[in-house]
Structure 1
Amino acid sequence: MGGGMEVNKNKHIENWNAARENLELGFRWTRRNLALVGIFGIALPVLVYKGIVKEFHMQDMEAGRSPRKFL
């Protein structure tokens, strides 16, 4: 149907795709990786949760209600 439309492969994109597909084979746990997991995987979600709960408790106090229970 649409002959003569070959794809020109870009060497750099192909290398990047191969690296992405095999990322788990070359991954190493380092101090930096552990720190990033600790910050963005544990500390940041906990801080966001605490901030949201604090906001709800402040709204409850302003409305004269007892604070809601979370978790």
Structure 2
Amino acid sequence: MAASGRWIGALRSLGRSLGQPARQQAADLSNTQRRHVGNLPVKPNSYVEDWAHKRENVELTFRFDAKTLAILGTAGIVTPYLIYQVCVTEFQTKQQKAGVPVKKYWGRDD
């Protein structure tokens, strides 16, 4: 029953659209408000668009040089090592204050 109702509604709307003159259909389209960017009245920001373009095409602009190696070394080796050392130092300090025998951690055989 519901399917037949859908077909009847579709045929009625098709009949109405075919019955209207082309000029009236064009006038209906020209009266609608035109918007861009997801139907929002937004002007594109050239800086954001440029950043998005560079982000999408990073494989074209990436260079493996000394600066990149320094960033990767800092982020991948130095920073985790420093975090580990700070945590181990804190654990050992808390153990000494609590009077518990200090546990020896990997890389810290004091």
The alpha carbon displacement at 1:70 in A equals 4.9
Q: Which residue of 1 aligns with 2:51?
A: 16
Where relative contact order (Cα < 8 A, 6+ residues apart) is larger, the structure is: 1
Q: Give aligned pairs, total.
A: 70
Residue 26, structure 1, aligned to residue 61, structure 2:
yes
**d(CA) in 2 for partners of 1:10 and 1:62?**
57
**Match in the other structure for 2:81:** 46
Q: Which runs of 5+ in 1 are unaligned?
A: none
* Matched residue SS, 2:85: helix
2:101: which partner in 1? 66
**Counterpart for residue 34 of structure 2:** 4
- 1:3: how far off? 4.2
Letter of the structure 2 residue corresponding to residue 28 of structure 1: R
**Per-residue deviation, 1:35:** 1.2
Question: How many Å apart are 1:9 and its aligned residue?
Answer: 3.1
Change (3 A) 1:27 1:62: same
Shift of residue 61, structure 1, vs aligned partner: 0.8
Structure 1: how far apart are the matches of 2:88 and 2:96?
12
Give the superposition deviation at 1:14.
2.1
Structure 1 match to 2:29: none
